[in-house]
Amino acid sequence: MPLVAHKKLPTFERLRAEGQRILSPERAQAQDIRGLHIGLLNMMPDAALAATERQFFRLVGSSNPISQFYVHPFTLDVIPRGKAAQAHIDEYYESFASIRESGLDALIISGANVTESNLAKEVFWDQLCEVFDWADENVTSTLCSCLASHALLQARYGERREGLPSKRWGVFEHEVVRRDHPLIRDTNTQLFVPHSRFNEVYPEQFSRAGLHVLIQGRESGVQLAVSADGFRTVLFQGHPEYDSISLMKEYKRDVGLYIDRKSDRYPPFPENYFDTYTQALLNEYKGRVVANRRASVEAPLFPEALIRDRLHNTWHDSGEAVVGNWIGLVYQVTHRDLKTPFMDGVDRNDPLGWLSGDTTRLQ
């Protein structure tokens, strides 16, 4: 079902141009369908702010045939911003205060760039924990992506992520390890997900926290886990929201750091992403970049135009299926008279009936 363009956010026009179905508020109100209000806490840095918007909007908008979606982007005001990003936020984003006042059915929290090994030392830590606490009491379900998952595990369960020997970067294969959960109903039992991180929370840490791991990879570790109640908190370590070009853009950025002498290490390829021809092309490009840097000559342009059409997306369908199941469950759990209290009549310790095996309420 479509997203509702309830504000003049440029992302709506961008998605409409891509073929995504976008409804005007007037058209949405004329249909006898209860809309879902989903918050997007976007903590990504300026360069990735709008792209992260589009990725999550696209994933939500293409994921589920049940509802219409009002997506409410907001951020944390302690995160430093440049003029252009701040202007975008001032014009199109909502404040956390207004989000709290109006309420949400569900919440998505993006990753963020960090500089501290201990996340509690990050500038956004206190405000993020405030969002966690509010959502736990007032939002039906919260979906955390990558860094947000690591932060929640530390804040709520005392499980701190550990640094990896090298960056886990690429597209990795995973298996569904709990096939009985409604979140992974009708998904492939083997699936691919992109990862991009320097840190890891290991399976035994999820177990110590009493969380249920649903999807895991041999190389990439835990991809999807849920809170002890099976639903109120959903945790991703990977990035099913990524576009086909996202890892290529990240690789290009890292090459740029080498060219600008902000890094002395030329980046490796993301794993299982570039085909043989593209790797050969990029190795030839690397040779010219390294030679030009030694000679203090301007670097050649990155051959993005020759690469784009050779990039394949092997993860969107599975990500769409999981997010679609999540939204469908939110819709069913909250599908009641809006005048009644939050999740009135729902067992907060087992909102899906999954733990007890009684899922008849979701049929």
- Kindly list the catalytic residues: 146, 239, 241
Which residues have C-beta within 8 Å of that of residue 279, sequence separation ≥ 6?
A: 269
Fill in the DSSP letter of residue 330: H
Q: How many Å separate Cα 326 from the centre of its chain?
A: 13
- Residue 104's CB is within 10 A of a number of other CB atoms, namely 23
For the beta carbon of residue 60, count every other beta carbon within 10 angstroms: 24
- The torsion of the CA quartet 191, 212, 158, 219, rounded to 10 degrees, works out to -30
Other CB atoms within 10 Å distance of the CB of residue 34 = 13
For β-strands 162-176 and 190-200, DSSP reports them as antiparallel
Beta partners for 271?
170
Residue type, 133: D
- Alpha-carbon span 17 to 117, nearest angstrom: 41
The Cα–Cα gap between 99 and 281 comes to 48
Rounded-to-integer distance, Cα 158 and Cα 150, Å? 10
Q: Are 39 and 99 in contact (CB under 8 A)?
A: yes
Look at residues 28, 39, 36 and name the one whose alpha carbon lies nearest to residue 67: 36
